[in-house]
Amino acid sequence: MATSTKNLSVYDKATIPNAKEFRFGIVVSEWNPKITEGLYKGAEAALLDCGALASNINRLNVPGSFELTFGCKKLIEIGEVDAVIAIGSVIQGETKHFDFVCDATAQGIKDLNVLTEVPVIFCVLTDNTMQQAIDRSGGKHGNKGIEAAIAAIKMAVIANS
C-alpha cells in the first residue's frame, strides 16, 4: 500500500497560495459521520491555515455520498464559490452497492469538473474497512480532508487565472 508508511497530509505552507480571496464550498455526506466529520475538520483547518476566511467557507450537508454531486452542483449554481470539496465515505459491504455508489459519485464529480468552471475536489474515501477510513480521516495515514483543501486552493488559483 502506497500510504502505509507515509502521512500525506503534511504540506509546506510556503508553497501554497494564500486562500484569503477565495470562497470555498464543502459538501459533506452525513453517512459515516465519524469519518466525514474528521475529513471536514481537516479540510476546514487547512483552508483557514492557508488564509481562507471562515466567512468564505460554506458547508452543505447531504444524506450520503451518492448525493454529493447534487450538493456540489447546487453550490456551483448559487455562484458564490471558487472551488468545492466533496467529502464522503463509502465502506465496502457484502453487496455490489459499494461499487455502484463509488462509481456514480466519482463520475458525477468528474462530470461537474468537465461541465462547469468551478473545480470540484473528490474527497470521498472508498475503503474496505472502517479502520482504513479512520486511518485516513485523521489517523495514522493523515487526513485526506487536508489534502483536498490544498487541492481546492490550488485549483481555485487556476480557475481564477
Cβ neighbours around 90 below 10 Å, total: 24
C-alpha–C-alpha distance, residues 159 and 82, integer Å? 7
**Can 97 be counted among the known catalytic residues?**
yes
Task: State which H helix or E strand residue 105 sits in.
Answer: helix 97-115
- From the candidates 20, 97, 110, 140, which is the catalytic residue? 97
C-alpha–C-alpha distance, residues 37 and 26, integer Å? 11
Looking at residue 14, what DSSP letter applies?
G
If DSSP codes are grouped into helix, strand and coil, which group holds residue 67? Answer: helix
C-alpha–C-alpha distance, residues 5 and 22, integer Å? 33
Do 89 and 65 touch, CB atoms closer than 8 A? yes
Catalogue the active-site residues: 97
